[in-house]
Chain A
Amino acid sequence: MSIQYCSKCVYPGVSATPLTFDDSGVCSGCRVNEMKSSIDWDRRWKMLQKITDEYRSDTNYDIVIPVSGGKDSYYQTHVAIHELGLKPLLVTYHGNNYLPEGEYNLFRMREVFDCDHIIVRPGVDTLIKMNRLGFKLQGDMNWHAHCGIFTVPIQVAVRYKVPLMMWGEHGFLDLGGMYSLNDFVEFTAKFRLEHALRGYDWHDFTDEGLEKLGRPELKEGLSAKDLMWGQYPTDDEIDAVGVRGIYLGNFVNWDANQHSRLVVEKYGWRPAAQPFERTYRMFSNLDDMHENGIHDYLKFIKFGYGRGTDHSCKDIRSGKMTRAEGIEMVRKYDHVKPRRDLERWLKYVGIPEDEFDAVCDTFRDPRVWRMENGKWVKDNIWGEASEYGNVHKDACGPGCRK
């Protein structure tokens, strides 16, 4: 079966983000993006003002803003304070692997915005265990980060009784066009569990949970008390405070390139100092040094594409790049096995590279990958098949997924 690619951008049909194609072969991500030009953004802004006005408090924070310290975080906080006049409480899940530039940006938020900021930092041993478990169980060492990012802010909102959260852009809406901008989609527990966490929850990572999953060989000795930061509040707790999470992307015409310029000029926000191995962009995912490299490489393993595709899709849609230029970025970056990142991460978690490769192979999507003469082969967007290294599946050692 050959993979369908969007005829406008470079997105593949087998992807991490749910994506569909219309009769002209254009993906839902492009279609939703096209809608932006026909939206009355002034009216949307007034809708946002109305919503936030309803939640203004005399005695408490007006809003919780989940932030990583990235360009979007700065933009959200800028809008909340300087354009909406709100008193926010910033909340961060810190997964222990910030780039120095990312951490600089994060810690400076309370200085440049004069904001209260809660940063939750899980124990480092626990995080290392969660890296290993996420990788082996789910093919994603950063599962813990998705869990923390989508859990800690609502825990804080419930605990501090702040009913409104304001997220930035809805990633799945933006990249894949999962929802329409007319849906005014809000944050939900189901989205967190099913899409951000792919059906797994914190309890699957405890010894008891792994036993239930039939994967006792992966046990790391984690218990519920190690994973407090991943435990989502109950419906009744959320309902008692009335917490809802809106997305700023539904109310302002979101353009990441423009926001980056704004936050660099206004607040001295810093992009990455060193280029990444798997993308040309310098201003995304600075909150985890493994995100643009090794974590994204796993996406290539699974689905056959990576940040070269993600970032060029965004730039094609915003008119910064042609589709042909995008394909060149895909050719250049999507397949790269990141040495710097890989070596750093393997050392961090204590896994040898051959075991890493063997576990990787258990996650290859059969719709994308085939084995030919001991090599992994896939068809590419430029119409040719290419080889991408040796098959390691059979070298799969004890404890890894068969």
Chain B
Amino acid sequence: MLKKRLIPVLLLQNGLLVRSELFKIHQIIGNPVHEVERFNQWNVDELVYLDITRGDKYDLRREDHKIKGLATPEAILDAVSRNCFMPLTWGGRIRSVEDMRRCINHGADKISINTSAVRTPELITAGAKAFGSQAIVVSIDVRAEGGSAREVFIDGGRESTGLDPVEWAIEAEKRGAGEILLQVIGRDGTGSGYDTGLIRDMSSAVRIPLVACSGVAMFEDYADGIKAGASAVAAANIWHFKELTDRAGKRAMARAGIDVRL
């Protein structure tokens, strides 16, 4: 049986990594290249970069910093992939097969699509045909009010779609998605734990791997996501807050009886 994966999600905004809360508050955490260098040292399983930039400004900010002059998403992806010795998923601002091809040419192993997958679901199939299902991750952002009414949102959590998340996951799988990345807007950056009910419902409805994200406060939270049915657990903020977070997270998973690559 495949080992369970632990995945950092890095959010890129205007050229810098940010911490995120409720998809609304974003604080600058640092440089996209330093982070990937650090993850290489840690032997991380896999990495997801999501570009959540609005507008077209990419600016690494400091003139006196050793790393400077990366002014486009491609330049950042190039620098990241040159330093990244683990599978790399790249998402954000991808609207066409051509966009996907450009990211893959610049070093991405998988492509994550969210808004464009809802707006043009044919893109999932076209991407899977061009690069294989394994390369197409459909990312689903869910607003779950009070645990009952669940709805898929797009455009960074700003636009409602009326879609039911589980039904949308089933359709994404049918259209050729190789993996689902599940994020829950109300849990993002709050440290309130995974939405295990949603993970359970979604993972039992599809056969493709489900990567659970949103809500991790403690390394112990990872096991809850796996036990609810996720094939891999992801988190964003916690990777920035503590030291040696990869081995500490994996150890917590192993203590809970989960088979991980230590």
Q: Which residues of A contact B (CB under 8 A)?
A: 14, 16, 18-20, 22, 28, 31, 138-140, 176-180, 182-190, 193-195, 198-200, 204, 235, 238-239, 243-245, 302, 363-366
Taken together as a complex, chains A and B put the C-alpha atoms of A342 and B46 apart, in Å, by 50
| B220 touches A (CB below 8 Å) | no
A139-B64, A189-B38 known; A239-B237 Cβ under 8 A? no
| B3 touches A (CB below 8 Å) | no
What secondary structure prevails in chain A residues at the interface with B? loop
Instruction: Write 26 A-B pairs (CB below 8 A) sorted by A numbering.
Output: A18-B29, A18-B30, A19-B28, A28-B27, A28-B28, A139-B63, A179-B19, A179-B240, A180-B19, A182-B191, A184-B241, A185-B241, A188-B240, A188-B242, A189-B243, A190-B34, A198-B62, A198-B64, A198-B66, A239-B244, A244-B243, A302-B64, A363-B64, A364-B63, A365-B63, A366-B63
- Cross-chain pair count, CB within 8 angstroms: 93
Scan B21-57; emit 1 where CB is below 8 A from any A CB, else 0.
1000111111100110010011000000000000000
Q: Is the CB of B61 within 8 A of A18?
A: yes
Note all chain A residues with C-beta closer than 8 A to B189.
Answer: 180
Note all chain B residues with C-beta closer than 8 A to A189.
Answer: 38, 243
Note all chain A residues with C-beta closer than 8 A to B30.
Answer: 18, 190, 194-195
From B248, which residue of chain A is reached at the shortest CB distance? A239
| B67 touches A (CB below 8 Å) | yes
| B101 touches A (CB below 8 Å) | no
| B175 touches A (CB below 8 Å) | no
Closest CB of chain B to A148's CB: distance in Å? 19
Taken together as a complex, chains A and B put the C-alpha atoms of A132 and B132 apart, in Å, by 55
Note all chain B residues with C-beta closer than 8 A to A204.
Answer: 66
Note all chain A residues with C-beta closer than 8 A to B237.
Answer: 183
Q: Is the CB of A183 within 8 A of B241?
A: yes
Note all chain B residues with C-beta closer than 8 A to A31.
Answer: 25
Taken together as a complex, chains A and B put the C-alpha atoms of A179 and B27 apart, in Å, by 7
Closest CB of chain A to B83's CB: distance in Å? 13
Taken together as a complex, chains A and B put the C-alpha atoms of A188 and B18 apart, in Å, by 17
Q: Is the CB of B243 within 8 A of A186?
A: yes
**Neighbour of A177 across the interface among B27, B64, B66, CB < 8 A:** B27
List 17 additional contacts besides A20-B26, A179-B29, A188-B240; criterion CB under 8 Å: A18-B16, A18-B30, A19-B28, A138-B64, A179-B19, A179-B240, A179-B241, A180-B189, A182-B191, A186-B241, A189-B243, A190-B35, A199-B65, A238-B243, A239-B244, A302-B63, A364-B63
| B95 touches A (CB below 8 Å) | no
Closest CB of chain A to B79's CB: distance in Å? 12
Note all chain A residues with C-beta closer than 8 A to B28.
Answer: 18-20, 28, 176, 178
Closest CB of chain B to A186's CB: distance in Å? 5
From B39, which residue of chain A is reached at the shortest CB distance? A190
Q: Is the CB of A235 within 8 A of B41?
A: yes
Closest CB of chain A to B171's CB: distance in Å? 34
Taken together as a complex, chains A and B put the C-alpha atoms of A184 and B245 apart, in Å, by 14
Taken together as a complex, chains A and B put the C-alpha atoms of A138 and B62 apart, in Å, by 11
Taken together as a complex, chains A and B put the C-alpha atoms of A5 and B67 apart, in Å, by 26
Closest CB of chain A to B33's CB: distance in Å? 9
A177-B27, A180-B21, A199-B65 known; A193-B34 Cβ under 8 A? yes
Q: Is the CB of A178 within 8 A of B242?
A: no
Q: Is the CB of A238 within 8 A of B244?
A: yes
Closest CB of chain A to B250's CB: distance in Å? 12
Taken together as a complex, chains A and B put the C-alpha atoms of A140 and B63 apart, in Å, by 12
Closest CB of chain A to B210's CB: distance in Å? 26
Note all chain A residues with C-beta closer than 8 A to B63.
Answer: 139, 302, 363-366
Taken together as a complex, chains A and B put the C-alpha atoms of A187 and B242 apart, in Å, by 7
A138-B64, A182-B191, A302-B63 known; A188-B243 Cβ under 8 A? yes
Quick one: which of A20, A178, A185, A194 has the most chain B CB within 10 A?
A: A194
Closest CB of chain B to A31's CB: distance in Å? 8
Taken together as a complex, chains A and B put the C-alpha atoms of A187 and B244 apart, in Å, by 11
Closest CB of chain A to B158's CB: distance in Å? 13
**Neighbour of A178 across the interface among B27, B31, B61, B65, CB < 8 A:** B27
Closest CB of chain B to A17's CB: distance in Å? 9
Q: Is the CB of B26 within 8 A of A199?
A: no
Closest CB of chain A to B2's CB: distance in Å? 26
Q: Is the CB of B27 within 8 A of A180?
A: yes
| B261 touches A (CB below 8 Å) | no
Closest CB of chain A to B23's CB: distance in Å? 14
Taken together as a complex, chains A and B put the C-alpha atoms of A365 and B244 apart, in Å, by 34
Q: Is the CB of A235 within 8 A of B42?
A: yes
| B106 touches A (CB below 8 Å) | no
Which residues of B242-259 are within 8 A (CB) of A? 242-244, 247
Note all chain A residues with C-beta closer than 8 A to B29.
Answer: 18, 178-179
Taken together as a complex, chains A and B put the C-alpha atoms of A367 and B27 apart, in Å, by 20
Taken together as a complex, chains A and B put the C-alpha atoms of A14 and B62 apart, in Å, by 9
Closest CB of chain A to B90's CB: distance in Å? 21
From B62, which residue of chain A is reached at the shortest CB distance? A198
Closest CB of chain B to A151's CB: distance in Å? 14
Closest CB of chain A to B226's CB: distance in Å? 24
Closest CB of chain A to B235's CB: distance in Å? 12
Scan B70-83; emit 1 where CB is below 8 A from any A CB, else 0.
00000000000000
Note all chain A residues with C-beta closer than 8 A to B67.
Answer: 199
Note all chain A residues with C-beta closer than 8 A to B240.
Answer: 179, 185, 188, 190
